[in-house]
Structures are given as structure tokens and as C-alpha cells.
Amino acid sequence: MNIILRLLLGSIGGSLLTAGCWLGASTAYFPLTRIDLDEGRELFAQHCATCHNVDSQRQSSYGPDLSNIGVLAAQRTPNQSPQEYILTSILTPDAYRAPGAQAAMPADIASDLDPTQVVSLVGYLMTCGATPNYNELTQLAHRVTSKPHETNSSIDFEQVDAGKQLYYGKGGCHQCHSLQALPGSTLKAPSLLTAGNHS
């Protein structure tokens, strides 16, 4: 019985060692990129839902409707997969404009996202009408470069006050653009509550 136990333990140990070596080698040559569609949905809600919509029953408040973007992306540009098109649209919004779309998407919309978050967002958008290709998403992650987020530490309070007067006074911005996150506050125009995140 002792010999059988030794053989069994030796076999298990050898299998674990082989698996560990394989995994170690594979992660060295094929770095793991975690694609999380749930995180992609959350990122869409935080960064995109102010202007875009993924529910075909609702009208987009400002930007194009993305409820079927997984299908439409395949028809937009030749020699580009749907996922490449969506990635390019996020990283370089001016690269292609849908017919009738306005040039309003901030160029740095994804500047505070890391490559894995960006491809998770692309994967989530692919689920709007299509199925994500996880192998391709993993490869696309290597095309996303993290940009250092620059901050301006000095605040000119005179400019802040002038902006406030323009927002509430002469510009009348407050009549359409809310500074609150209340239901219905984005019916007329996008809320400017998080506009500072995109400056």
C-alpha cells in the first residue's frame, strides 16, 4: 500500500510541476489579458452613457445609438474588424464619423483607462448585436497605450468665477445642461456634472 501511495503522490506531483511550468511559460510568451464584460458595461455607464445608448427602445440623448454596434461596426470601414473599428472609435473618435454624426466626442475619453479596461469596453460593445472575439480582443489590448494623465495643480479662481457667471448668466448653459445626477436631468442635453473629468 505504501508503494501505491508513493506512486500516486509522485504522479500527482509530476503533473502539477508540468502544469506549473507550462503556465509559467505560457504567461511569459502570452501575457494574460482579462476581458471582463461586466466591467465593460460599468465603464460604458461611467464614460459613455451620458451621450450614447445601448437600449434600442430608448433614444440616444446626444451621440449615435450603439444598440446594434456589434453588427454596424463590421460595415463601417474596409480591412478592419468590428472590434478594431470600435477600438479606433474610442481611442481616435475623429478617425471615422457615422453619417450625420457630429464631431463632439472628446479625443481623450479613454485617457484614464488601462488597456484591459479599454478592451473590456470594446468587448461589451460587441455584445450589442454580435459576439466578442476574445482572441482578437487580447491582441488588441497590446495596441492600447496607457497615457499619463496630466493635471494642472494651479486654479485661477477668477476664471472659475467667470465660467460660473457664463454658465448661469449670459451663456444660459444651465437651462439645458444639468449639474446634478437626477433622473431626467439629461433629457434635454448631457449633464455637465463630470465634464471636468474630460478636460
For each of the chain's 199 residues, which pLDDT tens digit applies?
A: 566 656 555 555 545 444 443 443 333 334 445 789 999 999 999 989 888 888 877 776 677 889 999 999 999 888 899 999 999 999 998 888 766 666 678 888 888 899 999 999 999 999 999 999 999 998 898 888 765 445 555 677 788 788 888 878 887 887 888 777 777 776 677 777 777 665 5
Whether 192 and 177 have beta carbons less than 8 Å apart is answered as: yes
Q: What is the DSSP letter of 173?
A: G
Distances (CA, A) of 84 to 68, 115, 133, 138, 148: 16, 14, 11, 12, 23
What domains can you pick out in the chain, each with its CATH number?
37-143 (2.60.40.420), 157-198 (no CATH)
Cell 446634478 -> residue: 180
Give the pLDDT score at 170.
Answer: 82
